[in-house]
Amino acid sequence: MVMLANLEIPVEAPFTPEQRGWLNQFLQRELGGGGAVAEVGYDKTRPFPSAILDNYNLNDEASGKETRHVALSLEGSGLEYEAGDALGVYPRNPPEMVEEILVALDLDGAAEVPLPDGGVGTLREALETAYDVRSLSAKFLAGWLARSGSEELRGLVEAENQEGLGEYMWGRELIDLLLEHPVAFADGADFVSVLRKLQPRLYSIASSPKAHPGEVHLCVGVVRYESHGRKRGGVCSTFLSDRSGDQKPGVFVHRNQAFRPPADEGAPLIMVGPGTGVAPFRGFLEERQATGATGRNWLFFGNPHAATDFLYEEELTALLKGGVLSRLDLAFSRDQEEKVYVQDRMIEHGAELWAWLEEGGVFCVCGDASRMAKDVDAALHKVVEVHGGMTAEAAAEYVKGLRKGKRYCRDVY
């Protein structure tokens, strides 16, 4: 709601420059006052309802993976991003899961309940859009124990059995807890009082605004698995893949100033992005192409199989043929008896990698923090040590210098 003197005007989107001009003229002419109309911007607390423009699987049907290319509209949002930023997406919980919860609790989905950020909504709407009805935590189980009196939970919670708690929570969700350790709630408001707010998910942006004005692109790995006799999936990835339909997901831009293409357009750029880690580097390459950057670009990409999992193959091949991408080294781990990963390709081409670094190259990594990023970091240290003729200690100092000089950038998760 925007206040104009004593008037209240509902606003569904930020004012365009033309609208602000008209409203300011209205203030001057009709109210005899000065002042201006403030822009009502979109952000994490007020996400922009973004229309989905494109949504398709980047993997072949025969692949064991599903990776969605999702293009969303930013028209009329006032949102701006740079290559390297992330997009926050608010998901919706599966309606069938919400229905199962309502049945298990014998609660009326049409009853009004408070929402996490104020206001009210129906219980069904709240469980689909506003509350986390999936994840469990040790704190949540302790609260559930107090209501259920479950002896099994008591043995885990009161004994502070962290290993046992972890094993119990792995692969289980709220619906499992409801069925295994039933609790009676007075009403819908009582139930949502124990739930946490549904949080947005952050995805590395896979586009440059210069290449796609008014749009933002994502590369989303869809999570699907089975546990305790149930088929399950990532709440946001399956929302985008299965349930987005005519929906307009709420989105906002999350800045990542530490992860950008080189400010020096002549600097060489080395990118390591296996799987969905390729996302920001698609944006980096589009940005470098749009700005006419003269620096060479080298991408290391990997996935299980070339025939089914070569994400953005046509685009990357075209960029390679056109000279925007100077080198493309691929690591399809399951296409030969011995598994090959991006870090192995780095070691294999260590001499040239070292030469690029010595020419002022910027080294960027995106992807899994738990394993890939650690292995890539170890490979980088090895390349510097071997081809720079350094001791392990000196190589560590060299890599440390790359970090300090903002020439070693990571977007890992």
pLDDT digits (tens, 9 = 90+) for 358-397: 999 999 999 999 999 999 999 999 999 999 999 999 999 9
pLDDT at 161: 79
Share of the chain above pLDDT 70, in %: 90
What number does CATH give the domain 269-412?
3.40.50.80
The Cα–Cα gap between 229 and 214 comes to: 43
Average pLDDT of span 140-145: 94
* Burial status of residue 254 (CB atoms within 10 A of its CB: 0-12, 13-18, 19 or more): middle
* Ramachandran class of 256: left when φ > 0, alpha when ψ lies in -120 to 50, beta otherwise: beta
Which sign, positive or negative, has the C-alpha torsion 276, 278, 281, 286?
A: negative
**Where are the domain boundaries for CATH 1.20.990.10 in the chain?**
95-192
Q: Closest Cα to residue 377, out of 330, 406, 410?
A: 410
276: DSSP letter: G
**Where are the domain boundaries for CATH 3.40.50.80 in the chain?**
269-412
Architecture of domain 95-192: Up-down Bundle (1.20)
Q: What would the pLDDT profile of 228-250 be if each residue is shown by its tens digit? A: 999 999 999 999 999 999 899 99
Q: Looking at domain 48-91+200-254, does it have CATH number 1.10.10.10?
A: no
The Cα–Cα gap between 209 and 315 comes to: 17
> In sequence order, what DSSP letters do the residues of 64-80 get, joined into one string?
S--EEEEEEE-TTT---
Check if the beta carbon of residue 252 is closer than 8 Å to that of residue 43. yes
Q: Band of the pLDDT at 40, cuts 50, 70, 90?
A: low
Check if the beta carbon of residue 282 is closer than 8 Å to that of residue 366. no
Checking if the pLDDT of 405 tops 70, the result is yes
pLDDT at 41: 87
Question: What is the token pair recorded at 266?
Answer: 């002549």
**Where are the domain boundaries for CATH 2.40.30.10 in the chain?**
48-91+200-254
Q: What would the pLDDT profile of 44-64 be if each residue is shown by its tens digit? A: 999 999 999 999 999 999 999
9 beta partners: 2
Which residues does 16 contact at the CB level (< 8 Å), separation at least 6?
76
The overall average pLDDT reported for the chain is: 91
